[in-house]
């Protein structure tokens, strides 16, 4: 996997040193922790010119990324880290025996989620593992117990990994597992999602199909208060690959004229979001397939919201 692609959303260009990435983002992906200096001391990294400090924030030079990986290599003992991605993505043939069973147990749970292939399993997998990257944060580690969480809207999803059989919620034993254990964890994770705030449950599900947290949040909040004008029309415009500025401006003029009752202070409501997306024509956008993408986006939004509300209703949560 190209590491430059992994960090594409977090990369910045500094005119003096080139491409840089927040050190916290690097450590989160590689070591399962957002701590800035979990292994190598700050002054060591600064003196080696691998990282730079800008306005009290620390960045890794992307050109020094492989150097950083080799610098932390073999220094994992007695540090609170969880190097799943470090090994799986960059050094798959060098996985330490200490971690081998732990990683395999996580992989088997992900495989179990794939086999279920339903609404919940897809959402849980998206939270735990997406874009071929494990999204874990390590919370604690003691005597072979690894406590992880996976960030999402609302409360983080927990997962505890034990070296022996223990009857504990959200847990797996990495020395002995079977489908019943994965089924139990799956049911616990399903209930965790349902017992979370209904709004965050809807946002998490919609984010899985749209891939955009900000947009998903905007749509859900608008859906829950349908008659309030909370969605910026300019933000909706940013979602579209317009043919050019002229076509964008023409479309906005038509939209404002036709749906003035759905607009207030350049904001619209949930009905306005639907009308905005559905009235875009092929001649308005950059290429014909953009219109198909918009149609698919509309379908995914509608389908996912209806399905999510069904789940909440059936579980008597909403």
Convert the pLDDT of each residue in 153-202 to its tens digit. Answer: 888 999 999 988 877 889 999 887 677 899 999 999 988 887 777 788 88
pLDDT band at 119 (very low <50, low <70, confident <90, very high): confident
Query: What is the longest distance spanned by two Cα atoms in the chain?
Result: 67
Convert the pLDDT of each residue in 81-103 to its tens digit. Answer: 999 999 999 999 998 887 999 99
Q: What is the DSSP string of 271-308?
A: HHHHHHHHT--GGGBSSHHHHHHHHHHHHHHHHHHHHH
- Sign (positive or negative) of CA dihedral 84, 86, 88, 94: negative
pLDDT of 3: 65
Cα 33 to Cα 52: distance, rounded to the nearest angstrom: 19
Structure tokens at 84: 């799943």
Cα 89 to Cα 148: distance, rounded to the nearest angstrom: 19
Q: Are strands 171-173 and 157-162 parallel, antiparallel or unpaired?
A: parallel
Convert the pLDDT of each residue in 254-306 to its tens digit. Answer: 999 999 999 999 999 989 998 998 899 989 988 878 788 888 888 888 888 87
Are 40 and 33 contacting, i.e. CB atoms less than 8 angstroms apart?
Answer: no
Q: What percent of the chain has pLDDT over 90?
A: 48
Structure letter (DSSP) for residue 199: H
Beta strands in 163-293 (DSSP E): 171-173, 231-232, 263-264, 267-268
Structure letter (DSSP) for residue 232: E
Q: Are strands 231-232 and 267-268 parallel, antiparallel or unpaired?
A: antiparallel
pLDDT band at 318 (very low <50, low <70, confident <90, very high): very low
Between residues 317 and 31, the one the model is more confident about: 31
Kindly report the average pLDDT of the chain as a whole number: 87
pLDDT band at 6 (very low <50, low <70, confident <90, very high): confident
Residue 3 host element (H or E): helix 3-6
Structure tokens at 295: 């149609």
Are 213 and 247 contacting, i.e. CB atoms less than 8 angstroms apart?
Answer: no
Where are the domains positioned within the chain?
Answer: 3-76, 97-195, 198-314
Among 3-17, 137-151, 156-170, the range with the most confident prediction by mean pLDDT is 137-151
pTM of the entire predicted model:
0.73
Q: How many helices (H) and strands (E) does the chain have?
A: 14, 13
């Amino acid at each position: 996997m190209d590491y430059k692609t992994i960090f594409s959303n977090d990369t910045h260009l500094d005119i003096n040193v080139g491409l840089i990435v927040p050190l916290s983002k690097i450590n989160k992906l590689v070591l399962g922790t957002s701590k800035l200096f979990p292994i190598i001391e700050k002054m060591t990294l600064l003196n080696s010119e691998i990282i730079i400090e800008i306005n009290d924030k620390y960045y890794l030079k992307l050109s020094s990324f492989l150097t950083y990986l080799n610098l932390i290599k073999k220094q994992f003992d007695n540090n609170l880290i969880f190097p799943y991605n470090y090994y799986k993505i960059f050094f798959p043939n060098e996985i330490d025996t200490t971690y081998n069973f732990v990683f395999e147990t996580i992989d088997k749970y992900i495989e179990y989620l794939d086999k279920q292939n339903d609404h919940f399993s897809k959402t849980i997998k998206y939270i735990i593992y997406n874009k071929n990257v494990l999204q874990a944060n390590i919370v604690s580690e003691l005597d072979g117990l690894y406590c992880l969480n996976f960030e999402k809207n609302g409360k983080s999803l927990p997962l505890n990994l034990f070296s022996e059989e223990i009857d504990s919620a959200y847990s797996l034993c990495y020395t002995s597992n079977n489908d019943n254990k994965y089924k139990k964890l799956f049911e616990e994770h399903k209930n965790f999602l349902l017992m979370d705030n209904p709004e965050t449950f809807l946002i998490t599900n919609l984010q899985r199909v749209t891939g955009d947290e900000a947009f998903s949040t905007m749509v859900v909040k608008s859906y829950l208060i349908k008659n309030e004008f909370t969605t910026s029309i300019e933000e909706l415009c940013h979602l579209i690959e317009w043919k050019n500025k002229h076509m964008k401006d023409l479309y906005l003029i038509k939209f404002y004229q036709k749906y003035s009752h759905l607009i207030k202070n350049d904001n619209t409501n949930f009905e306005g979001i639907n009308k905005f997306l559905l009235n875009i024509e092929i001649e308005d956008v950059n290429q014909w397939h953009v219109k198909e993408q918009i149609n698919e986006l509309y379908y995914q939004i509608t389908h996912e919201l209806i399905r999510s509300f069904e789940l909440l209703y059936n579980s008597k949560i909403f």
